[in-house]
């Protein structure tokens, strides 16, 4: 199945094993601290969705208590995910995060399929879609008569250049954008709490209204399940912080702390936004608008409020892009280090010590998909792919715990998942629920997603053959 960590990592590049600390010696610079890690965690979760998506939940469950309860449950599951990934980060604080966990717990082939899907679809397609969203809000705010694709391309190219300047430059840009994002959410919450003149008459969520909108039954359970799916997607993204583990100072301590603080911070922000939307619009008003944050701000400040929230959404989307370009290229770098991708992708710029080719590759691929206009279709194909690998990565805890032994791990970290194995199993089961729900609702798209992933198999075998051939000739 694999190896004991003291034996080192099996590298497809070589016939034997390499030292466990090889990745640190490879040249990536540990320049990020706890604040950076926390901002990266939050930036990977909070996109533009929280400004618009609360209405999706309100259409499934119809009382303030139920709406907030669903967001609380989603937050608790995200926290379970943070617990799981914190232990994985402590056990294997290596470049590539999920890629490294899957590679070492299962097989390099499975890890390659993950990286293949990340580059071609899940990460890149998502970034293309968000870049076009940014372009539309930017054009609306500035009144510039420029095509969306031009603005999207310039945004992606600019962030790519910033990240090529060094991991600290990329992280600083991400920190600034995340702070501005928090500021935009805080402004929305403050307006809804203190300046809304005629809030919804049942203004105290959970008190004036009944708790449940229907009797306790299978119908209620189904509605809660349907509401949970968009909520869990809204909470997804914390795992990308683990991609940059090799560039974090004291990663066994810093990454777990960053994951906890970041996810808890996002739970607070999400609950505050939903509370304010319910206070101002009420459950029926929230369900009736697809742009609740904009509706709240327009009620308080008129057209100015609409423009302010549009600016907040533009900043939020730009921050999400910044986080993606900072983190995801580290997976492609790790793949190249393993001899499963172009050797140049593992090249580090001597002065900045960042994988500039991998960063440029991510930026160019996102630009190409944005220009193609097929990003929404691509996202539909792989809507469940992320959660397949979330669950698979979480299951790595069981494998690595058995392989490492508790005594060996206790020398490395004080961190263990609270309530394991039950909490870990619950998170894996949640991932399975989302995947099954998605396959049931979108069987055609799911088949295409499986086809895209399986198309990576011949590519993997080609790279493995090529690397072994090159090694044998040396």
Q: Three-state DSSP class for 35? A: helix
Integer Cα distance of 9 and 70 in angstroms? 41
Domain-embedded: residue 12: no
Q: What is the pLDDT of residues 412-452, one digit of tens each?
A: 455 778 888 999 999 999 999 888 888 887 888 888 888 88
Integer Cα distance of 98 and 84 in angstroms? 12
Least confident of 140-154, 165-179, 218-232, 392-406: 218-232
Domain-embedded: residue 222: yes
Domain count within the chain: 1
**pLDDT value at position 80?**
92
Q: pLDDT > 70: what percent of the chain?
A: 88
Q: Which whole number is the average pLDDT over 136-155?
A: 91
- How confident is the prediction for the chain on average, in pLDDT? 85
pLDDT at 244 over 50: yes
Sign (positive or negative) of CA dihedral 11, 366, 428, 421: positive
Least confident of 334-338, 364-368, 403-407, 430-434: 403-407
Q: Which whole number is the average pLDDT over 25-54?
A: 87
Integer Cα distance of 389 and 114 in angstroms? 7
Q: What is the pLDDT of residues 85-105, one digit of tens each?
A: 999 998 888 999 999 999 999
Domain-embedded: residue 20: no
Domain-embedded: residue 307: yes
pLDDT at 305 over 80: yes
Q: Which whole number is the average pLDDT over 308-328?
A: 93
**pLDDT value at position 49?**
81
Confidence of residue 4 (pLDDT cuts 50, 70, 90): very low
**pLDDT value at position 233?**
83
Please name the residue that has the structure tokens 């190409």: 368
Q: What is the pLDDT of residues 64-77, one digit of tens each?
A: 999 999 999 999 99
Least confident of 37-51, 101-115, 321-335: 37-51
Q: Which whole number is the average pLDDT over 17-37?
A: 66
**pLDDT value at position 209?**
61
Confidence of residue 5 (pLDDT cuts 50, 70, 90): very low
Q: Which whole number is the average pLDDT over 197-219?
A: 62
Confidence of residue 173 (pLDDT cuts 50, 70, 90): very high
pLDDT at 7 over 50: no
Domain-embedded: residue 175: yes
Question: How many C-beta atoms surround the C-beta of residue 268 within 10 A?
Answer: 12
Q: Which whole number is the average pLDDT over 47-70?
A: 88
Q: Three-state DSSP class for 18? A: strand
Q: What torsion do the CA atoms of 272, 273, 279, 281 make, to the nearest 10 degrees?
A: -170
Q: Three-state DSSP class for 10? A: strand
pLDDT at 230 over 70: yes
**pLDDT value at position 170?**
94
How far CA 177 is from CA of 42, 48, 112, 216, 272, in Å, comes to: 11, 13, 31, 43, 20
Cis peptide bond upstream of 421, omega within 30: yes
**pLDDT value at position 358?**
97
Rg value, the chain, Cα:
22
Q: 14-22 long-range contacts, Cβ below 8 Å, gap at least 24?
A: 14/471, 15/471
Question: How many C-beta atoms surround the C-beta of residue 244 within 10 A?
Answer: 27
Domain-embedded: residue 250: yes
pLDDT at 14 over 70: no
Please name the residue that has the structure tokens 């072994």: 468
Q: What is the CATH number of the domain that holds 342?
A: 1.20.1740.10
Integer Cα distance of 246 and 358 in angstroms? 15
Please name the residue that has the structure tokens 């996102």: 366
Integer Cα distance of 156 and 322 in angstroms? 8
This prediction's pTM:
0.87
Q: Three-state DSSP class for 32? A: strand
**pLDDT value at position 20?**
37
pLDDT at 58 over 80: yes
**pLDDT value at position 315?**
94
pLDDT at 387 over 80: yes
For helices 108-117 and 98-105, give the axis angle rounded to 10 degrees. 150
**pLDDT value at position 25?**
40
- Domain with 415, as residue range(s), is 27-467
**pLDDT value at position 15?**
32
Q: Which whole number is the average pLDDT over 371-397?
A: 82
Tokens of 228: 């949970």
Q: What is the pLDDT of residues 283-302, one digit of tens each?
A: 989 988 888 999 999 988 88
pLDDT at 214 over 70: no
pLDDT at 335 over 50: yes
Helices (H) and strands (E) in the chain, counts: 22, 2
More confident residue, 357 or 433: 357
Query: How would you classify residue 419: left for phi > 0, otherwise alpha for psi between -120 and 50, otherwise beta?
Result: left
Which one, of 442, 371, 457, 438, lies nearest residue 236 by Cα? 438
Integer Cα distance of 297 and 293 in angstroms? 6
DSSP string for 295-345: HHHHHHHTHHHHHHHHHHHHHHHHHHHHHHHHHTHHHHHHHHHTTSS-GGG
Domain-embedded: residue 8: no
Integer Cα distance of 128 and 300 in angstroms? 33
Domain-embedded: residue 455: yes
**pLDDT value at position 48?**
81
Q: Which whole number is the average pLDDT over 340-359?
A: 93
Confidence of residue 202 (pLDDT cuts 50, 70, 90): very low
How far CA 168 is from CA of 105, 155, 164, 210, 354, in Å, comes to: 31, 19, 10, 50, 10
**pLDDT value at position 436?**
87
CB within 8 A of 360, min separation 6: which ones?
160, 164
In this structure, what are the phi and psi dihedrals at residue 356, rounded to the nearest 5 degrees? -65, -35
Question: Where does 204-264 show beta strands of DSSP type E?
Answer: none
**pLDDT value at position 316?**
93
Q: Which whole number is the average pLDDT over 49-61?
A: 87
């Amino acid at each position: 199945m694999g190896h004991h960590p003291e034996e080192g990592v099996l590298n497809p590049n070589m016939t034997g094993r390499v030292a466990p600390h090889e990745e640190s010696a490879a040249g990536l610079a540990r320049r990020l601290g706890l604040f950076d890690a926390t901002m990266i965690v939050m930036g990977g979760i909070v996109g533009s969705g929280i400004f618009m998506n609360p209405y999706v939940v309100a259409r499934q469950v119809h009382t303030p208590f139920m709406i907030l309860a669903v967001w609380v449950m989603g937050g608790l599951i995200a926290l379970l995910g943070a617990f799981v990934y914190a232990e994985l980060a402590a056990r294997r604080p290596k470049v590539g995060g999920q890629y490294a966990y899957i590679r070492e717990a299962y097989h390099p082939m499975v890890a390659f399929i993950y990286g293949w899907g990340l580059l071609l679809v899940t990460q890149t397609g998502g970034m293309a879609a968000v870049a076009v969203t940014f372009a539309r809000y930017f054009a609306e705010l500035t009144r510039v008569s420029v095509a969306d694709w031009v603005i999207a391309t310039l945004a992606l190219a600019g962030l790519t250049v910033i990240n090529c300047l060094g991991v600290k430059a990329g992280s600083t840009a991400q920190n600034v954008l995340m702070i501005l994002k928090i500021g935009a959410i805080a402004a929305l919450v403050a307006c809804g709490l203190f300046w809304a003149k005629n809030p919804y008459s049942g203004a105290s969520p959970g008190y004036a209204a009944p708790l449940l909108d229907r009797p306790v039954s299978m119908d209620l359970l189904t509605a809660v399940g349907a509401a949970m799916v968009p909520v869990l997607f809204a909470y997804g993204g914390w795992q990308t912080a683990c991609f940059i583990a090799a560039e974090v100072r004291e990663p066994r301590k810093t990454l777990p702390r960053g994951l906890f603080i970041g996810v808890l911070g996002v739970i607070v922000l999400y609950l505050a936004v939903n509370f304010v939307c319910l206070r101002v619009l009420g459950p029926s008003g929230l369900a009736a608008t697809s742009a609740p944050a904009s509706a709240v701000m327009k009620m308080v400040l008129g057209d100015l409020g609409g423009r302010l929230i549009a600016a907040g959404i533009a900043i939020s989307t730009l921050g999400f892009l910044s986080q993606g370009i900072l983190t995801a290229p580290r997976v492609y770098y790790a793949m190249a280090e393993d001899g499963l991708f172009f050797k140049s992708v593992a090249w580090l710029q001597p002065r900045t010590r960042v994988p500039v080719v991998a960063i440029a590759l991510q930026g160019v691929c996102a630009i190409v998909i944005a220009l193609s206009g097929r990003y929404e279709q691509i996202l539909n194909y792989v809507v469940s792919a992320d959660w397949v690998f979330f669950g698979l990565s979480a299951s790595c805890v069981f494998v690595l715990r058995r392989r490492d032994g508790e005594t060996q791990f206790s020398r490395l970290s004080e961190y263990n998942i609270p309530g394991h194995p039950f909490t870990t199993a619950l998170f894996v089961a949640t991932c399975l629920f989302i995947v099954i729900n998605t396959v049931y609702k979108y069987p055609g798209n799911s088949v295409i997603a499986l086809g895209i992933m399986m198309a990576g198999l011949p590519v993997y075998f080609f790279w493995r053959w090529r690397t072994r051939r090159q090694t044998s000739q040396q």
